[in-house]
Every structure is written in C-alpha cells, then in structure tokens.
Amino acid sequence: MTVPDTALDRAAAAIRRGDLVVYPTETVYGLGADALDPTAIDRVYEVKRRPHDDPLSLAVPTVEAAHRYVTADAVEHRFMQAFLPGPVTVVCRKRERVPDELTAGRDRVGVRVPDHPVARALLDRVAPITATSANVSGTGSVRDIAALSPRVRAAAATILDDGETPGTESTVVDVVAGEILRRGAMADAIEAWLSEE
C-alpha cells in the first residue's frame, strides 16, 4: 500500500464532514461519501450526473459490519462468507438506518466489502461509504487517477492514489433471486455457486 496513514486520516475526516473522496478498489476507483448522510449522497449523484432513480451501493470493512446496515438470510450470509471481501456487490434488504436517498426509495441496497488494502484501511476509519465508480455516469470507469474527469477531480476533497487498478467492475448479485444483475469479476464462480444452492 503506497497511501500513507496521514492521507487516509484526511480522507476519513473529509467523509465525516460530508465531503467526497476518490479511493482505489480491487475493481476501479470509487467515489466515497458518508452513505448515511442524505446531503453527501446527493452530492455524489450531482457530481456523477447520475439519475436519482439509479440506486447507489455502500461499502463496509467486513461482512460482520455489513449486518449493521442490511438483513441477510442464511443463504445470503453463506454467499457473503464465500465471496467477500472481493469484487462482488450483494443486494440485500436494507435496515431502516440506510437512507432512501442511497437506494432510490427501494427496500434493498447493494453491499461491497472491497478486497483492497487502501479501501479497507479507509473503511476501518469511516464506514459505510458510497461504493460507486469515480466517473460521470455514462463515461468509462477510472482505473488510473490520471483518467479522472475534471468534474470529479474538482469535487473530491481528497484523492487516494494507489496506482492502476485491475479495472473489471464488480459482479452485482441478488442471492435470494439467484440472479446476477451485472456480470463482472468472478461472475462464472458466482454463477456456479448460485446453481448449487
């Protein structure tokens, strides 16, 4: 990990203030904000020019931490234990403390536990944060800080640069429905797991 603790501390403080932070994951760079703060969530939508009816996911440091924000049945829990941390977003029933602004009014929310040392170190300091790519909606995901759009760069209070990321988006899974909503990293392994349940 090439990001110093002081930079991580600054990023965590920025998120607590309601500001936005760009952070690396094992997929692409993410745009992080306090996932329980409706005002901060609105800023993410605004910066990304993302429609407010398109829900955002949240990131936490561990599977255990995820249970503070979602309720997972036995199958969802087994799935999380098998695939998290990793490049997977699991859609679960949200708890009341998760604001409707994050989920576009839906009763379910995507949960990420990134398998990246910088993301995990940030989440150990402050969580949950938004888990969405650090790009303007409709443009390519960012694997390298040099590719950040001026709009996102200007909006971020802190940018945590840890070099190039692998670039394959997370696979989004509705375990209860046994359905992959977006194919990405590890999609074949996830499909095989779901078929055996």
Domains annotated on the chain, with CATH: 5-167 (3.90.870.10)
Laid out side by side, the sheet with 20-23 consists of: 30-32, 20-23, 156-159
pLDDT of residue 197: 79
Nearest one of 44, 34, 26, 3 to 159, comparing CA atoms? 3
* β partners of residue 174: 179
In angstroms, how far is CA 172 from the centroid of its own chain? 11
pLDDT of residue 1: 58
pLDDT band at 2 (very low <50, low <70, confident <90, very high): confident
Nearest one of 14, 1, 58 to 159, comparing CA atoms? 14
Tallying the residues shown for the chain, one arrives at 197
pLDDT of residue 158: 97
Average pLDDT over residues 131-143: 95
Spell out where the chain has E strands. Answer: 20-23, 30-32, 57-59, 70-71, 88-94, 108-112, 129-131, 156-159, 171-174, 179-182
Q: Hunting for tokens 């390298």 — which residue is that?
A: 144
In the predicted structure, residue 146 carries a pLDDT above the cut 90? yes
Average pLDDT over residues 107-135: 97
The Cα 117–Cα 2 span in angstroms is 10
116-127 pLDDT, tens digit each? 999 999 999 999
147-185 pLDDT, tens digit each? 999 999 999 999 999 999 998 899 999 999 999 999 999
23-76 pLDDT, tens digit each? 999 999 999 999 999 999 999 999 999 999 999 999 999 999 999 999 999 999
